[in-house]
Amino acid sequence: MSAVRRLARFIDPYVVLLLGTVGLAALLPASGTAADAADGAATGFIALLFFLYGARLSPQEAVAGLRHWRLHLTIIGCTFLLFPLAGLAARGLVPWLLPHDLYEGLLFLCLVPSTVQSSIAFTSIARGNVAAAIAAGSFSSIIGVLLTPLLAAVLIGASGGFSGDSLLGIAGQLLLPFLLGQLLRRWIGGFVRRHRAVLSLVDRGSILVVVYAAFSEGVNAGVWHEVSWPRLLALLGVEAVLLALMLTLTRWGGRRLGFGRGDRIALVFAGSKKSLAAGLPMASVIFGSQAALAVLPLMMFHQMQLLVCAVLARRWARDPEARDAERREPTDSPTPPG
C-alpha cells in the first residue's frame, strides 16, 4: 500500500481529470447542436483563459528579472530552439515508427512555451533559484503567445493547412485577449491576484471544456481508428528519449555556462518542460478537427515530465550542496510561493 501512495504523490490529479474528460468524449461525444455548443463554449473559454494570462503577468516582475538575462536567454533557447530542432529531427521516424498525425502532435509539443507553476514548484523543492524560475516562466508564456503559433505556421503549416484566415483566428482567440488582459491589468490585476484560487478553477475548468470539445470532434471524425496501441507505445518511447535529452542538455549546459547551483536547477526544470495549460487551447485553435491527435503527445509528455522532475527535485533537495546553499541564503530573500 505504501508503494501505491508514493506513486499517487507523483501523479497529477488534474491529469486524471483530463484523462477522464477524454474517456467521457470517447463514450459520449458531443454531436449536432451539442457539438456546436461545445465548440462555442471552448472558443469563449480559450479567449477567457488568455485574457486571464494577460491580466496575471506583471511587466514589473518581468523587468525585475532581466538581471538574469543570460539564464533567461538560455531557457528561451532551450524552449524555442533546441526543442523544435529535436522535433524536426524526429521527422525521420515517419512513417515507420510514428504516423504523420502523431508526429505533428510531437512537433507541436516542441513548440509550446515552458510551464510556469510546476517549474517553480520543483525549483523550490530542489532549493534552486525560485525567482529565476518565476521570471523565466513568465517570459516563456509571454513570448509563446506569439511565437508558438508562428513557429507552428512555419514548421507545420505546409501539412497542417495554415492560411491567412487561420492566423487571423489565432490572433483573435489568443493574442487579442492576452493583450486586452495586459491593458486592463492596471484595474483588474489586484482582483485577479486576490482571487487566484477561484480563477485557477476557471483556468482548469476551461481547459477541460476545450479537451472535451476537441476529443468529441475527433471521435465524430473517426480519427482514433488511425491510432493503434503499438503506435502509442512508440510515441511514449520517443517522448522518453526527448525528455532525457533535454534534461541532459540543460544540466550539462548549465555547468558549461558557469551558472551557480540555483540557476542550474531553474534551467533544468524550466528548460526541459512544456506547458499543457498553454498548449491545449493553442492546439484547439491551430489544428481544429485534428486537435485530438495533436494534443495527445503533449498530454503524455506532461505527465511524464511531472513524474521524472518530481523524483529529480526530491533527490537534489537531499544533496549536501543544497543544504550548504540554504545556510548561505540571506534571511531577507523572497519566500518561494507555495
Grid look-up 544533496 returns 319
Residue 175 CA to residue 295 CA, distance in Å, equals 20
Cis peptide before 95 (omega within 30 of 0): yes
Residue 301 CA to residue 296 CA, distance in Å, equals 9
Cell numbers standing for residue 81: 530552439
* C-alpha of 54 from chain center: 16
Instruction: Tell me the domains of the chain and their CATH numbers.
Output: 32-318 (1.20.1530.20)
Interval 86-125: pLDDT, tens:
999 999 998 889 988 889 999 999 999 998 777 877 888 8
Residue 338 CA to residue 334 CA, distance in Å, equals 12
On average, the pLDDT of the chain sits at: 79
Interval 272-329: pLDDT, tens:
999 887 787 888 777 776 777 788 898 889 878 888 888 888 888 887 665 555 544 4
Q: Could you tell me how many residues make up the chain? A: 338
Interval 198-210: pLDDT, tens:
777 777 777 788 7
Grid look-up 491529469 returns 15
Give the mean model confidence (pLDDT) for residues 29-51. 83
Give the mean model confidence (pLDDT) for residues 10-23. 75
Please state, for a pLDDT cut of 70, what percent of the chain lies above it. Answer: 79
Residue 105 CA to residue 238 CA, distance in Å, equals 12
Query: Could you tell me the pTM of the whole model?
Result: 0.75
